[in-house]
Amino acid sequence: MVPTLLPDDHLLVDPEAYRTAGPQRGDLVVLQDPEVEARRLVKRVDGLPGDFRGTAGTIPTGSVYVLGIDPSRSRDSRSFGPVPIGHIVGRAWFRYRPPERRGPLPPATVK
């Protein structure tokens, strides 16, 4: 997720963010890794239910398509497919460490 996120960044995550409305395109989300249950990933929502994603087809209802900030190096929906919204832990919204990078997270962009 460099430069948006760096390896030593510590984030605040809102687990209630999607209780009343679903994720939006561009949201940074923390999700359960579909391949390693104990691992968490930070990704950007790039596709919503009903969107067509080329070889992935149409994103099913109740799922999102996520990408890393650097698509050439990320393990994301291009490798594991759409992610059920229920696997999203919450929306990452604030970096609290390190102190010099403290503040709200900017909208994610793809390289």
pLDDT exceeds 60 at position 111? no
pLDDT exceeds 50 at position 47? yes
Amino acid 108: pLDDT: 58
Give the residue numbers spanning the domain of 47: 10-97
In a domain, 2, yes or no: no
For the chain, what is the domain count? 1
Q: How do residues 82-107 score in pLDDT, each as one tens digit?
A: 999 999 999 999 999 989 999 998 76
pLDDT category of residue 110 using cuts at 50, 70 and 90: very low
Amino acid 109: pLDDT: 52
In a domain, 63, yes or no: yes
Q: What is the CATH number of the domain that holds 35?
A: 2.10.109.10
Q: Quick one: which H or E segment has residue 64? A: strand 63-67
In a domain, 102, yes or no: no
CB 65: neighbour CB atoms within 10 A?
Answer: 22
In a domain, 106, yes or no: no
pTM of the model: 0.86
In a domain, 21, yes or no: yes
